[in-house]
Amino acid sequence: MAIPPGAVIPGALPDFRIYVLTSQGTYTLWALEGNKVSAEQLARLAEGGYTEVYVDLEAQFKYEQYLESNLGSILENRAASDDQKAEIFSKVSANVVKGAFETSLGLGAMGAVAIQRTQKLIENALKFIVESKSLQALAKMVGHDYQTYEHATKVLWFTVAFLRLNPEILEQIEPGHPAFDESRRMETLRQCAVGALLHDIGKAFISQAILTKTGPLTEVEWEIMKQHPLNGLAMLIDTDIPAFVKKAVLHHHEDFHGGGYPMSLEGSNITTLARVLRIVDVFDAMTSRRPYKDPMPPKKAMEIMIGTPADREGDEDPAQDERDKGMQRCFDRELLKKFIVFLGDVKLDA
């Protein structure tokens, strides 16, 4: 199986053998499993004009695990081309999402074809991230906290799949754009993918101790946590990312009925993409394993988000986490209804 040399990080310890293909058409062992590959070795490989190295097919799983655990370094690897990075990223994120759909969310959420089509789009979105100078920020997040990366990846996939099926929402995302033809639609979708992936990038500034804390946050910790949308914007301000995406990063914790952070905006003052991200972000957080609780079944998460009658009457559910209460005021109800229809369409197991 051919792999890009850019995936091999100097100093990392691959758990598989790597081969090169000689001009005679034979595979020669280049690196042994469990051995560090040196920067000199990689430089010689580049000098020799090798654009691919090879891994045993049986080692595919180990190779994928290696990619997953070294993703942050790979994105920062100067020896890897931007195309290689985009390809590796989309491959790893597809695996993360497939794994999540198969385990916690139930199978059937996305068929193989949908995954393939979405993967292509995400690859393009990542190419844009590379071009727009925000790759460093992304690499920082991936390297800092894997859980945030995993969450961002799922939010990315849900957002893209949801907006693809709801073109009328997509059209509201860039209001005032005169020609909303197919190519414009795809471009907007790609930009939304970028926003979804980067929405929590400001968490790269928050210490692991706070991000993974199991108990309730103290007032000070909470204040630090609330700075992540602003820090995210700061990380992206000098990039070529469009203004509506930067705004969505800044506003993804604003509540539709007010009281969110950082600015306590309300209703249509919160951009459409930020309102979509608010929904997808919360849904994924509730249905994922969090440091302080087990994943919740999708149906239960939806009930809490929409506010069941019992919830509205103040009927206490002991299983409900304190942090999830009174949630329905956070969302644009019309968008939330469409998201729930979408989840029904993708046949999530209850």
Which is nearest to 226 in space by CA: 263, 195, 271?
263
Q: What six digits make up the tokens of 169?
A: 């929402």
CB nearer to Fe ion: pick between 200 and 303: 200
CB nearer to Fe ion: pick between 200 and 324: 200
Provide, rounded to whole angstroms, the least separation between the CB of residue 35 and Fe ion.
Answer: 40
Q: How far apart are CA 212 and CA 214, in angstroms?
A: 6
First to last CA, the chain: 38
Q: C-alpha distances in angstroms, 211 versus 8, 205, 208?
A: 29, 10, 5
CB nearer to Fe ion: pick between 67 and 224: 224
One-letter amino acid for residue 204 of the chain = A
**200 makes contact with Fe ion (CB under 5 A):** yes
Q: Which residue is closest to Fe ion by CB?
A: 200
Provide, rounded to whole angstroms, the least separation between the CB of residue 166 and Fe ion.
Answer: 22
One-letter amino acid for residue 198 of the chain = L
Listed ranges 54-62, 132-140, 193-201, 312-320: which one lies at the site for Fe ion (CB under 5 A):
193-201
**284 makes contact with Fe ion (CB under 5 A):** no
One-letter amino acid for residue 242 of the chain = P
CB nearer to Fe ion: pick between 255 and 311: 255
Listed ranges 38-46, 64-72, 120-128, 197-205: which one lies at the site for Fe ion (CB under 5 A):
197-205
Provide, rounded to whole angstroms, the least separation between the CB of residue 8 and Fe ion.
Answer: 33
Provide, rounded to whole angstroms, the least separation between the CB of residue 232 and Fe ion.
Answer: 8
What residues contact residue 23 under an 8 Å CB cut-off, 6+ apart? none
CB nearer to Fe ion: pick between 45 and 279: 279
| φ/ψ (deg, to 5) at 27 | -90, 130
Provide, rounded to whole angstroms, the least separation between the CB of residue 296 and Fe ion.
Answer: 18
Say which DSSP state 217 is in.
P
Provide, rounded to whole angstroms, the least separation between the CB of residue 200 and Fe ion.
Answer: 4
CB nearer to Fe ion: pick between 200 and 332: 200
| ω into 175 cis (within 30 of 0) | no
Q: Using CB under 5 A, list all residues that contact Fe ion.
A: 200
